[in-house]
Chains A and B, each alone.
Chain A
Amino acid sequence: MANLLTVLIASLFLATLAIPVIYRLRTNGTGTFLALFPLLIFILLGYLLITLNPFEAGIGDSSIAILEGMELSLRVDGLSLIFGLLISGIGFLILLYSSFYMANQERQKSFYLYLMIFMGAMLALVFSNNLITLFIFWEITSVASFFLIGYNHHREKSRQAAFQALIITAVGGLALLFAVILTGNITGTYRISEIISEGIHLGNHSRYPLILSLVIIAAVTKSAQFPFHFWLPGAMQAPTPISAYLHSATMVNAGIFLLLRLYPLLGGTIMWKYSLLITGSITMFLGAFSSMGQKDLKRILAFTTISALGTMMLLIGIDTVNSIKAALVFFIVHGLYKGGLFMITGIIDKSTGTRDIYQLNNLTKSMPFTALFTFLAVISMAGLPPMLGFIGKELIYEATIQMPQLSWIIVPLGVGANIIMVAISITVFYELFIYQKKKITTKLLIKEKAFPTSFLVGPAILAFMGLLLGIAPEILENAISNSIYFIRGQSIKITLSLWHGFNEVLLLSILTIAGGVILFLLRKPANRFIAHILNLFDIYHLPSIFNNLVNTYLKVTSRNTERIQHGYHRFYLMTFFLVTIAITSLHLFKITDIPFSLQYFSPVKPHVLLLIIIASIAVLFAVFTKTRLSAILAMGLTGYSIGLIYLFYGAVDLAITQFLAETIIMVIFVMVIYYLPTFAVLSTRTSRIRDAIISIITGLFITLVILKAELIKPDYRVSDFFTENSYTLGEGKNIVNTILVDFRALDTLGEMFVITMAAAGVFSLFKFQIKRLKERKKDS
């Protein structure tokens, strides 16, 4: 089954190849077609969830490995199933939703391409059983989300938001890479299943603080935690389906996933607890606090997402069975209601043309179904029964109350954040659907009835899933027991139920709702108060601080670049030569135990001597001649002489290459020289003398290095290896050729890329000139 999953996830990537074809056949049905792939995955994962044994994990090893130790292997356990189900399920709905939302928009093909790549990478990330592949897919999600956030790239704001998101998540990715490599070096394996089954924990290792901080940086940046939270509201520049997908169940939850995944390796220490508690609680409260007073529905949702992520972070930091359970349930709750609400935002935006909740007026009559779905999503967000949100909130309260220490501060913070959530839920629903604003008459552009079912089905399914799971939470018990078994190593049968009886948790819930209602009634002064406080902190406006930082950095680097990359070719060469001389002379004089004497060399043959004399005369002529053409011809003569020397010493391949290359270089030179002005004396006498000295020293040094290298006689030469193995291993009698295409084929490949780059460079340098020439020809 796990192997089937590998194939299906790979099919997500391969499906991108079909996008141009489908797009040509049915332009606006592309999304609907692509939705089949995540649907298949969802069905398979659903089957795996039902058949899941509470204390077992399925491993699917494929024979494909990127490199040794980086195999593509899958791990199916409760944690990856919970994440995978939400990613594939919401991905399916988002693709359906996009096919109407993105209809008749430009660049749909790239939209679907990035979305599918993102989805595939996200699924591969959560199912990955190897830390290195996990990192690779983590980076792919960052890059794909950059393109998705910056999809409307003609707007400067989108570009900036995408850039911010990329830079911040890429910093996290880099930290993750370091952490993964360190972990691999210490544990000796990158396989997650081995780390978990062997019970490796790095808590006592001297590198533990470093690894933990790197992992936390990765998680905190990806999951938009304080002080990196600001990229998330910025990312609302993305098209709504993208916001719904990236910020409900996927991208931003990858950090949470990472922490849960690495818990067996790193979790449970004091450092782990406190760092997560601090960031989590600050983010939770700050997100909720900032969401009050926002007008744009999407921004409100963005800030509540930050708050929810903070809550999950906090719950992981509390570090008890109950808190992990609460985090997992809350992840599902949040994915369901947030995905639905974002999609509803898109529906309202499509039909009215605005997302400002104060500009929208009594939408119940015009869009009754949307109102129903919003109602369900909003009561899940507020944590009211009988939704899954209620269970989620009860579990959170239970976990915070039972905290061994610090519950005196965490509980009030949690209650405060939840009160704001309740107030926001009521405000959103009230302003959108109930309140009659007399002054504002927002016209409906498209009626709800005109929308296709595929556009409305997304929020409907998510809302009813929230309800269904609230009434029958038993479905999730197995997966959560399994997750907790592998996260905390405790085999506990988890039970979930809607009704917990009268206890202090229920009391807190009632208090929260009452507080929320009061805050809703006082929302105008409260909004003013919050706006005032946020204004006070405006000097610490993080996005602009970030932008300033980036700009300053760019200024400094461009100044340095100008200093190094000055554009004078002769100075580049001079630097290059001088540095080479300095480095080689250091090594050349270090090796003193080899006597330097001419007796080690065979006598020079007369014809070779003749060639050397010809080449030297040609060089001198090239230096002192007054015209370019003769200089080039003289250089060509030198090249041919060297080619002949190769030939005399039996290097036929080298000689042929030398002759041919020399010929082509001469042809190109002659072509170009024809159009250059005749020799002009531009350099001064002193600079010429300096150049002469440098070139003579360089030549002298190269000669010395080669002579010395000839004197060093190692026991086993590289060339001996090739002579011995070229026929047996390389199956070729031409040693040079077996080196080129077999032993060192990677080098040849690299060279091919280099000369391709050179060709591309020439072409792109002259592309516009050629275009202009052709246009002029047409005109005349």
Chain B
Amino acid sequence: MQNIILQKTAKLILIIMTAASLWLLIRGHNNPGGGFIAGIVAATGLILYAIVFGSQKVEKLLKYNTRNWIGSGLAIILVSIIIPIALGEPPMTAMWTTISLPFSISLHTGTPHIFETGVYISVIGIILSIIITIMEVLKWNS
């Protein structure tokens, strides 16, 4: 769609949505949000971008094939499952630790965060994979 206002808006919305999704992902464990929701938010921004610029542009933006996104998301989930096994606990046990960073910031993190990141990435991959496939079949390449 060759509409300059729409194109600018889509770009802006993409940036806002991505930032929002990362924010939702990070705060998710204590406030409303989480990997799944954040993934859908990011995907929504990308879908708008796809509708405006065509599916090929989104594929370029994502750098890798959507199926690779799904796979890497699932692989990250696998890492969060394996870490407890390596530490002698049953798989999928939540393990927490506090990492102290410079400037007296301490980061409380654990395997659920890794799990969540994996969910986030694969949700983006899954939704876009479906949308891009449908767009390609419908020749939705403005």
Contacts and interface: CB of A to CB of B under 8 A. Distances in A.
A529 B52 CA distance: 82
Nearest to A63: B88
Contacts of B74: 752, 756
Given A737-B29, A745-B115, A657 B130 contact: no
B79 interface: no
Interface string B114-140: 011001001101110111011111111
Given A653-B32, A734-B30, A756 B96 contact: no
B40 A664 contact: yes
A719 to B, nearest CB: 17
Interface of A is mostly: helix
Contacts of A657: 36-37, 40
B127 to A, nearest CB: 6
Contact of A660 (B29, B41, B81, B115): B41
Contacts of A594: none
A741 B29 contact: yes
Q: Report which residue of B43, B51, B96, B119 has the largest number of chain A beta carbons within 10 angstroms of its beta carbon.
A: B119
B76 to A, nearest CB: 11
Nearest to A742: B94
Given A734-B28, A745-B112, A653 B44 contact: no
Contact of B44 (A660, A742, A749): A660
A734 B33 contact: yes
Contact of B136 (A652, A653, A667, A773): A773
Contact of B34 (A734, A749, A766): A734
Contacts of B44: 660, 663-664
B58 interface: no
B136 A741 contact: no
Interface in A655-702: 656-657, 660-661, 663-664, 667-668, 671-672, 674-675
Interface string A747-766: 01100100110110011001
B112 A742 contact: yes
B8 interface: no
Nearest to B51: A667
Contact of B116 (A674, A741, A756): A741
B77 A737 contact: no
B94 A730 contact: yes
Interface in B1-57: 28-37, 40-41, 43-44, 47, 51
A95 to B, nearest CB: 30
B75 to A, nearest CB: 12
Contact of B40 (A661, A732, A742, A748): A661
Contacts of A675: 138
A378 to B, nearest CB: 51
Contact of B30 (A732, A748, A758, A773): A732
Nearest to B110: A731
Nearest to B94: A742
Interface in A703-746: 730-734, 736-738, 740-742, 745-746
A147 B130 CA distance: 33
A494 B91 CA distance: 47
Contacts of A7: none
A542 B127 CA distance: 52
A570 B141 CA distance: 33
A87 B123 CA distance: 46
Given A664-B47, A746-B92, A756 B140 contact: no
A748 B119 contact: yes
A343 to B, nearest CB: 41
A758 B34 contact: no
A270 B45 CA distance: 74
A664 B41 CA distance: 10
Nearest to A754: B126
B134 A672 contact: yes
B137 A773 contact: yes
Q: Which of B77, B88, B130 has the most CB of A within 10 A?
A: B130
Given A672-B138, A734-B28, 18 more contacts: A660-B40, A660-B44, A664-B47, A667-B131, A671-B140, A732-B30, A736-B32, A742-B94, A748-B36, A752-B123, A755-B123, A755-B126, A756-B70, A759-B66, A759-B67, A759-B130, A763-B133, A769-B137
25 contacts: A652-B32, A653-B32, A653-B33, A656-B33, A664-B40, A667-B47, A667-B131, A671-B140, A674-B138, A730-B112, A731-B29, A732-B30, A733-B31, A734-B28, A734-B33, A737-B33, A738-B29, A742-B94, A745-B92, A748-B119, A759-B70, A759-B126, A759-B129, A762-B130, A762-B134
Q: Which 6 pairs between the two chains have the least Cβ-Cβ distance?
A: A652-B32, A732-B29, A733-B30, A660-B40, A741-B112, A759-B126
